[in-house]
Structure 1
Amino acid sequence: MDVGTRETVGELLGRMAAGDHDRTAELFAEPIDWQLDWPAEGHPAVPWIRARSSRADVADHFGTLEQFHVPELNATEVTRILVDGPDAVVLGTIAQTTRGGRAYTSAFALHLTVEAGLITRFHIYEDSLSVLRAHK
């Protein structure tokens, strides 16, 4: 049975919230069309913001993100999920605290594409400059 877009997005969000990086990565196709909006070339203060293409890369992304933040202080809120066929857009606000104690908030939009029950596109748009500043 082919899992629908909305169900796959719901499963993704649940696994991300649970912090199970390997199980989260299982939801992604290989290769994955992955994009974080800035800085495209990467920056040592935010090593998770870089190109990714495989399930191992996806697991590493979420693991690295967790290494730099206090998971217990994550207050990410999803305000809307829009689905149109294989595409979904998740809107919300990310509220994180760095391991150094700096809190930051950023609105986000996550564009996903789901094909045959796997995520083939993961493009997230957020205020990455605020994220970088919180980690410098």
Structure 2
Amino acid sequence: MTDRTRSTLDEFFRRMSTGDTDGAADLFADTVEWDIPGATELVPWIGPRRNPAEIREFYDLLDKGLIKDRFEIERVLVDGPHAVAIGRLRSIIRSTGKVIDSAFTIQFEVNDEGAITKYLLLEDSWHVANAVLP
């Protein structure tokens, strides 16, 4: 199972690195437990999602809301169906010009078919919310 999980995440990050967000969304199961906790009333792209269509909406809202400058994966730790990616991101909020620079972790779970069933991104959500405010 560890090999399947690692293979799925390698493909996920490969697609993300080429801007293939539709392809990345295709790697998720029909029902997924996705969340990016934070101030959903201020930041439209964060919050829970439950299926690939909602994940595609996330990527659309993200592209409209910010300019991605850096998204670096430092390491991925895999244990069976569970994985954690550790990295750093830097983005510019389009509406304010403010910079978000934050460490992050993403928790994943991958099922027996190689589909992602859980995605939990943890970042400095206070910093993100303040960057959106004028």
User: How high is the TM-score relative to the length of structure 1?
Assistant: 0.88
Q: Which aligned pairs between 1:79-118 and structure 2 lie closer than 5 A?
A: 79-99=74-94, 100-115=96-111, 116-118=113-115
Following TM superposition, by how much is the alpha carbon of 1:62 offset from its aligned partner in structure 2, in angstroms?
1.2
Inter-partner Cα distance in structure 1 for 2:27 and 2:35: 17
Partner residue of 2:57?
60
Inter-partner Cα distance in structure 2 for 1:35 and 1:129: 16
Deviations along 1:105-127, one digit per CA (max 9) or x if unpaired, are: 11111000011110000011111
User: How high is the TM-score relative to the length of structure 2?
Assistant: 0.90
Partner residue of 1:131?
128
Following TM superposition, by how much is the alpha carbon of 1:22 offset from its aligned partner in structure 2, in angstroms?
1.4
Q: Percent identity?
A: 35
Inter-partner Cα distance in structure 1 for 2:67 and 2:34: 24
Deviations along 1:87-135, one digit per CA (max 9) or x if unpaired, are: 1100011111111321111111100001111000001111111111111
**Gaps in structure 1 of 5+ consecutive residues:** none
Partner residue of 1:20?
20
Counterpart residue identity of residue 19, structure 1: G
Counterpart residue identity of residue 31, structure 2: P
